[in-house]
Structure 1
Amino acid sequence: MQSRRVIMIVGNGSVPDGAGLAIDAAHLVIRFNDCRSVGRGGVKTDIVAVCNTGRPALSMLGGGRWKTSAAVRQAREIWSVRSGVKFAAMRRALAESHPDLDDFCDDYTIGFESFARATGRKHRVIATETHERLDRNLARFEPPPYVAPSSGLVVIADVLSSFASAGDDIVLAGFGHSGWEWHPFAAERRYVDALVAQGRLRRLPHSSSSDLPQGA
């Protein structure tokens, strides 16, 4: 009998000792942006989830280094994390509250779509409904004023609601829940901890070399 599918979501934070072997043994590995997790966090990369608005998107599409990196070359799919509709609707309010983020909502989705098409990969945009649902769920953890949830949290919410099948084992590694000041990281940590407590996902333990079923 075939074991259930292991979906590993690997953030760009630190990973525990031995994580590389466990991550590479998963059936499917999702990484983010420039895939800084590659190395100590293994090498297998099936999906690269990208921040498709603002300066990070412009940097990835403009320099050429991202497109030719080993992780991106290996990936079968590119996911654009941010809904263009959602972020376009945010532009006017952000112009007043955060004038320094004048390019935050600039949408480069078409660039990632064109890259995916030209290189024979699937391109997927995470739906506006996922963002709206996540904002409602985060509200239960009383976040301070924030601009947007992190890309990692959006992908976690999307995998749980729209991508994973019943019985899939969703495992997180490289999530330190810290970084840019306008992501609600403290609330995000509490949200993920609640999902772990509910058994909907789990974090990769520090002793991780042999606790995952082997996946192709």
Structure 2
Amino acid sequence: MPDDVDPLRAAWPGLSDLGAVALVGNAPGTEARAADAAAAVLRFNNAPGFGGRSGSRVTHLALVNRGGQMREWLADPGFLDRPVVRQAEAFVLPFPMLPEAQNRPEPICFTRGALALLRPLGKPVHVLPEELHDEARRVLEAGTGAGGRPNPSTGFLIALALLLGRPAGAPAVEAHGFGFAGWPGHPWAAERAWFTDAAAAGRLRLHPPPADG
């Protein structure tokens, strides 16, 4: 996907240099202390289990920047004091910024507010490009049969970005705690199939491994 990789790397400088990566999802009961040994540890949103059963390191924190969750964070005066936020070295916002005209009358995109909140911390904030979303929808539609313009999850978008933006021969991404369940608007079965295929190809490893059949 050469035409799509350049916008991705422009949006996330250093993506191709992350080395060994642990991707820690938020499935209930995730045990991922081994993730702390990776050069880069990517976590999501409220990162349940951080500091305990899911490990104590985070280099990149992905924060969903559309919908009510970001609205709640922007209204929370203690958000920047959360341990996972304080310890993150960089932030990833998975959705590109909507033009103001498309964000009315009821706003769904809170990218501007998120940038205003996070930038004073002096840490990089990467906003993933529309090209990545186009590729995610193409993969989910063509590769797994998910129709109707599927809405990829943040975990899927970050995993796809890692596999697209890293050089050939990079270590397999270690993915912990992906339960493929949650908000019903995401195509969980299709995402599970993609992760399983990527694991079979040696591009990532799922912990625990997918059940046979």
| TM-score, reference length from structure 1 | 0.78
Contiguous gaps of at least 5 residues in structure 1: 93-101, 207-216
Distance 1:33 1:65 in 2: 15
1:174 counterpart letter in structure 2: G
What is the Cα deviation at residue 37 of structure 1? 3.7
Distance 2:61 2:133 in 1: 19
Q: Could you tell which deviates more after superposition, 125-134 or 110-119?
A: 110-119
Provide the residue aligned with 2:177 in structure 1.
174
Provide the residue aligned with 2:62 in structure 1.
49
Distance 2:85 2:42 in 1: 11
* Correspondence 1:16-31 to 2 at 5 A: 17=31, 19-20=32-33, 22-31=34-43
What value does the CA root-mean-square deviation take over the aligned residues? 2.5
Contiguous gaps of at least 5 residues in structure 2: 1-17
For the pair 1:75 / 2:88, whether they are aligned, the reply is yes
Q: How many positions carry a matched residue from both structures?
A: 189
Match of 2:198 among 195, 200, 205: 195
Indicate the SS of the match to 2:134: helix
List per-residue Cα deviations over 1:136-167 (Å, max 9, x = no partner).
000121225466111100111111112x3442
Distance 1:144 1:204 in 2: 28
Indicate the SS of the match to 1:63: coil
What is the Cα deviation at residue 108 of structure 1? 1.1
Identity %: 30
Distance 2:126 2:72 in 1: 20
1:58 counterpart letter in structure 2: R
What is the Cα deviation at residue 34 of structure 1? 1.1
Provide the residue aligned with 1:11 in structure 2.
25
For the pair 1:185 / 2:199, whether they are aligned, the reply is no
Answer whether contact 2:137 2:149 (CA < 8 A) is retained: no
Q: Runs of 4 or more off by more than 3 Å in structure 1?
A: 14-17, 144-147
